[in-house]
Structure 1
Amino acid sequence: MMKGKKFLAAAGLAVSLTFGGTALPVLAAEQAPAVQQAAVVDAKAQLSKDLASLAEYNKGTMAFDMDLSSPLLSLCYKGSLSFNVEPKMAAKGTLAMEMIVPGAPSSIEQSAFYMQESDKDLTVYVQKADKSWEKTVAEKKEQKKTVDQTVDQALAVDLMKCTKEVTLGSSEGSKQSYLVTLDGKKFYPYLFQLLELDKKDAKDKKAAKDTEQLKKVLQSMGDIEYTVTIDRKEHMMTDLHANLTTQMRKALTSLLKEQKMTAEDEKGLLEIINGSTLEISFSGRKLESESDLNVPADVAAKAKLTDAKMPGVLPKVLPAGKK
């Protein structure tokens, strides 16, 4: 049986933490310094434990919302993923993008997808713009590390090594909120390693140049703050809110400085950058109906097989079938 519950939890969390966030109410300032320090230490240890417990989130629904606003246009991405990983992974999701340009009608693009696991592989069905379907198949492979070991390392060890500070936020029932500060000097190199961006063909000069430029951009973004709420009883991340406006502006400004242009053009682009905002949020809840995850018969029958490769992280976390 594929232990996909840990893969899904890790994937959702890794993406969430990549985007940073906003602040929650912190402890009262009038508290004694010694008490505050103890609370920070306790909060970090508690968060580490709660992050590790997310590996037990084996079925549910996660939603994603990203809003980018600028003087030129506004983009809104919305997505959802419902999944159940036992006894075999089954999932379905939707994606929607709305683009708004001042003075023009809004443009909306929508898509849907399904994921189905068998003993030997994982098949992903994706709906194209013309409403037709295509499918991609990823074969499971034996791994040196089990999925459990890989994800436990990411959730309980690696991310906490990148964490500079943790403060307890609000608490309601089994739900606990945290304000977390990630150390940019540690997190971005970890992100680079996680995405294996250094392993591209060294002979490809353009790819190497792009990689170095991306490193500079990431290094310019600084620390990241995010708020996350975890249901400690259900082992589920119920909310994560991100405001990446500052990080986005720093990244775009860094890219702009690498370009050759007149001072007037640079000034105009900087005005656009500094007038842009970026906010992202995630939410999680229990799965309402497992039967909805089945691939419709007409989709399975009509989907055209493609040779497109899965994202690099997928094959690595798909162990071979149980022997």
Structure 2
Amino acid sequence: MSGRELWADGRLRAAWAAQDWPAIFRRYRHLAGISQRQLGELVGMTQGYVSNVERGVHQIQSADVVARITEGLAVPHELGGVTRDRALDQWAPAAELRDRIARAHATGRTDLRTAEWISHVLAEHRRAEDEVGGRDLWPIVRSQLDTVTQLIPHASGDAADRLLLLAAEHAHWLSWVAWQEQHRGPALAWIDLAHGWAVDGGHVDMASWAQRVRSYYSLTHGDPKRALRTAEAARYVGPRPLSPAAESVAVHQAAMAAAACAERDRAKRLADEAHELAVRATDPEERPGWLYWLDPVRARLQYADVAYACRDWGEAATHFREALPALAGYPRDHAYYRARLEDAERRS
């Protein structure tokens, strides 16, 4: 892989955000397949010094050394200057983001190669989150969003619409991480931005997804009636029909909210509909990028979740049991659904 391609790795980018130099050196060498001596040649260090950095003997603090590493390892532009303190203390959207978006569709041209690269690495972050955690990746994604929004005032037409979608995807991801970190106000602000930018760009799947996320927030915060209204609205967000995958997750969320409202028959009917929609989108190319995970296994787990919410313990346990082996490579999800299976078995 080229130096640029190495930086699509979520662990490497998270290590850079944390300025964890031992992890940066070790991960970069692992991905590039190079020795400590070869890494030293890239950054102007001896093999012994690289070894001491990796063992934590030497601490890198000099701005000149950081600049040399940045250049030698071809750190992407959107990561430059990111530090742990800079982004982790700023959970809420900054005002200038709205100002940049407001100038979208101006006459002009923009180079979309940077946006395409950032879209690629955002997809890698989604897959890496299960291993490195969203908090560590937060400053990277926040910095990437800055880069995207700076491109928008110079774009027009379809290019501006594509950038709005990319901005909305980042805002949705930031919302999700903020919610997980118990920053509920900023989480709602980010998801509102995601929804608005998706609507502005004419991206009905993303607009629906943002509505679905809001429904999830309401449900987990103890307001199932509002969650049900919001999830139902997520099915009808624009002039064009949703993709089967996007409609599936909206319908599933409505099923979960209906179960919480003690509307079991409605919940089961919606669960059947959601599953049918999901199996129509088995090809990854048929799913929006943020729904890469909605394969047949996840569709079955969603069906099991509704059965669990309806207190149909036997059916829930059956589906959890059959789907669980496929989650072996996802330790956090495997632990979550394993606990649900054991609880359903205990209650059945």
TM-score category of the 2 structures, normalised to the smaller one: under 0.3
Q: TM-score w.r.t. structure 2 length?
A: 0.26
More strand by share: 1
Q: Which has the higher contact order (CA 8 A, sep 6+)?
A: 1
More helix by share: 2
Q: TM-score w.r.t. structure 1 length?
A: 0.28
